[in-house]
Amino acid sequence: MAYLNGVFFSKTLSRPVHYTAVLCNDNAFGTEGNPHYNRPTKNVYLLHGFSGCETDWFTNAPLTDLANQFNVNFFMPCGENNFYLDQPQTGCKYQSYVGVEFVDYTRKTFALSDKAEDTFIGGYSMGGFGALHTALAYPETFSRAIALSSALIVPALKYMKPTDQNPMANYEYYSWVFGDMQNAENTDANPAVLIEKLQAKGAKLPELFMACGTEDFLIQPNREFKAYLDSKNVPVTYVEGPGVHNFDFWREYLKKGLEWAL
């Protein structure tokens, strides 16, 4: 088992970037009789939530145990607070960074498989949104997405007003990240728009796993997105369980998501 913090220069973000990785490349125990070692190692890109960073998953979830149990590598970039979207400003191409550059860098650096069937993406809250959005933006790269307590807030942006007191962030923040708030629902920032574009092309969609706690403040938008997927005949494994918006829930359902994916 190897755990490391790395830094490399990102062209898409125009600066050095930090990441965390957990690799199952030197296990001393746990491989004997484990069927997960009868197949190639899978590579899972885990995204953090709003106000988080690249160390959140490692600090709060047993990634070393999961890597050893399931024969997976974990790679965790820092997406700052940008919802893993590309913005027009220089150094703000977070979708391209996570979905293209970071994947290319890790594949080259760690000699990883370049097959979509070996490449998954997951995340919680803002990172759950990012996992869905990134997988739908790059279905040729990611075959599965594990989205936990996803911040599927784009359809609600049109109802926000500059005077609203949002406990998470202010109106200016949302307009900076998503642009025209009244029209964001109709842009590529909305995972639903990406789905419709893929379906129009007859493209294969990534497989989706969604989970949300029944006491989570994001439960309703997750239910609404599940209903949308059903209306578009998009297969999804959707799970609810007791829990709020915290790592007690995300630890449990990351493991369930990996069991589903594998």
Any idea which residue has 């594990």 for tokens? 146
- Count other C-beta atoms under 10 Å from residue 150's C-beta: 28
What confidence score (pLDDT) does residue 1 get? 76
Q: Are strands 207-213 and 15-23 parallel, antiparallel or unpaired?
A: unpaired
- Judge contact between 148 and 124, C-beta under 8 A: yes
Residue 30 has pLDDT above 70, yes or no: no
pLDDT digits (tens, 9 = 90+) for 86-110: 999 999 999 999 999 999 999 999 9
Task: For residue 154, give Cα distances in angstroms to 136, 174, 203, 234, 253.
Answer: 15, 10, 24, 19, 24
- Judge contact between 236 and 210, C-beta under 8 A: yes
Provide the mean pLDDT of the chain. Answer: 96
Task: For residue 216, give Cα distances in angstroms to 159, 229, 230.
Answer: 21, 20, 22
Residue 27 has pLDDT above 90, yes or no: no
- The whole-angstrom separation of Cα 196 and Cα 149 is 23
pTM of this structure: 0.96
Task: For residue 25, give Cα distances in angstroms to 71, 76, 239.
Answer: 9, 17, 31
Cβ partners under 8 Å of residue 88, min gap 6:
none
Decide: helix, strand or coil at residue 76: strand
What confidence score (pLDDT) does residue 168 get? 87
Residue 26 has pLDDT above 80, yes or no: no
Higher pLDDT, 166 or 157: 157
Residue 29 has pLDDT above 80, yes or no: no
Structure token pair of residue 16: 């050095």
Element (H, E) at 86: none
C-alpha dihedral (201, 202, 207, 210), degrees to nearest 10: 60
Q: What is the DSSP letter of 70?
A: H
pLDDT band at 33 (very low <50, low <70, confident <90, very high): confident
The CB-side HSE value for 116 (13 A sphere, CA atoms) comes to 16
Residue 15 backbone phi and psi in degrees, to 5 = -170, 165
Cβ partners under 8 Å of residue 142, min gap 6:
45, 99, 116, 119, 120, 121, 134, 135, 206
| Residues of the chain above pLDDT 90, percent | 93
